[in-house]
Amino acid sequence: MTKRLRVALAQPNFIVGDFEKNAEKILSYIKQAEKEDVDIIAFPEMAVPGYPPEDLLLKPQFLEKNMETISNIAKEVGDIVAIVGFIEVKEDIYNAAAVIYQHKIVDVYHKIFLPTYSVFDEDRYFSRGNRIPVYEVRECKVGVNICEDIWYPDGPAHFQALAGAELIINISASPFHTGKRAYRERMIATRGMDCLAFVAYVNLVGGQDELVFDGGSFVVSPHGELIARAKLFEEDLLIADLDISSVLRIRLHDPRIRKEKGYEENKIERIFVAPYKPPKKETVKPRITPPMSEEEEILHALIVGTRDYVNKNGFKKVLIGLSGGIDSSLVAAIATEALGPERVVGVLMPSQYTSRESIEDAEELAKNLGIQTYTVPITEIFETFKKEMRRCVWGNMPEDVTEENIQARIRGNILMAISNKFGWLVLTTGNKSEMSCGYATLYGDMAGGFAVIKDVMKTMVYRVAQCYNKLKGREIIPKRVFIKPPSAELRPGQKDEDTLPPYEILDPILKAYVEEDRPYKDIVAMGFDPELVKRVIRMVDRNEYKRRQAPPGVKITPRAFGKDRRLPITNHFRPFE
């Protein structure tokens, strides 16, 4: 007899702590799946409370609301099996998946492998699970596990397969970084081939503080073939019909499961969930959303991260200082895509050092984006500031970088004054190359509420900006912005390369040191000048105090500043000594 199972993977955009709205979304997707005659629907990890809840997990009232919500959801679930992530509160708390059918929670799976690396800190909060169930759904055997559990070859999925699981469902909340989607799909494909089972992987979508979840939920066959993929960076419901009968045929020709069978006996619980139901007459045609280029993925991550940070925190508009440079141009473009032009305001703040070309480029960008702008010149404010400081404190001391920083701080004050008056959120425009080296002014260009491109190296800023223009089909960001030398324009004839190495050289060194933790000697062996490498390392290390005071921003690399990379400010270790 042919066994078929119709599976739905739901990837809604949840809000941490908004139990009512999260429950509404879950039930809405369940109702949609029921209309499609789905057998089993799965939601991401911690769908009920939102992810990651961090120290909200230490608040009993938060935990109680979570338990109340999952109970209310269960009452609304009928003749469909729903796998819903939540926090189970018992003698301790567990990162859990509720298996719901016919208005009750049939069973609860507890996450076994609790990650404590990168942005994850689950050992801080949760107790680990100690049981591995397999569920019978419509005469098919289904294993359920959570996120990190699937990353271990000999983890729960392995034992579920030994116990006969023909489908493994992994509910996940896997944050985006460049290359993660492709790596994730390769790993799951390998797990499908190892287990000789279908694997359905459901991922979260949306922005939460610095993190962005890219969705892209998918299903692989026992041969490791991708047979369905949901939308990237968008809410979606992916439905796939799986020929569960094919698993037995494949396993008859591959003895691995048979050879190990029996090892799982003391580890597996077998739980009946839902009875047989006749298969559907018409199968659902599998849908595979095409992948994106690296630049397109980053662009979408930045848009989603910005949109959700602004909207979920209740801001009506955002404010950006427009310099006519590539960084502020890209941030303005991202904000406009995320929020619409009516919610983005640009502020031009020219000084005596601002070139005519920069003003023209900023004005052209604003016109192309259709955003409102204000112009607030800072020359008189700057001169008054210097005059009073000379009179009261400095005397005849020569000008230096202090006067450059004053200009940045005047601009920061102007932006924050407008922000305070209207309640708009200031988006900062510093990139990762600058933040790494401290080429930014505290309480100046670092002043703001959200740092859109703080994890994007300067060379990647150009690539993403070019990708944006290409996707829009015209030069929204003016051509001259791409070709003129980068400059802060804080003194006559200033260029970034007066202070920093060329970005084409700087960025690979920063990637090696900041993101890959390569030793000094290894970086030099890559072909870089030893003294230059020392200089860059010194800049990175001595500016940790600045980065601690920077606003949050979207994580797009495997190692971002903030939660990802944690180094002491007071630190005498020198990698090159």
Catalytic residue IDs = 45, 111, 147
| CA neighbor of 284 nearest in space, from 26, 8, 29, 11 | 8
Beta-carbon contacts of residue 428 (< 8 Å; ≥ 6 apart): 331, 445, 446, 447, 448, 450, 451, 452, 454, 550, 551, 553
| CA neighbor of 252 nearest in space, from 196, 189, 198 | 196
In whole angstroms, give the CA distance from residue 124 to residue 54.
Answer: 9
Beta-carbon contacts of residue 150 (< 8 Å; ≥ 6 apart): 156, 157, 168, 170, 172, 187, 188, 191, 199, 201
In whole angstroms, give the CA distance from residue 485 to residue 55.
Answer: 45
Residue with structure tokens 């701080």?
Answer: 409
In whole angstroms, give the CA distance from residue 206 to residue 211.
Answer: 8
| CA neighbor of 109 nearest in space, from 63, 60, 150, 50 | 150
DSSP letters spanning 385-446: HHHHHIIIIITTPPP-HHHHHHHHHHHHHHHHHHHHHHTPEEEE---HHHHHHT-S-TTTTT
The pair phi, psi for residue 107, each rounded to 5°, is: -160, 165
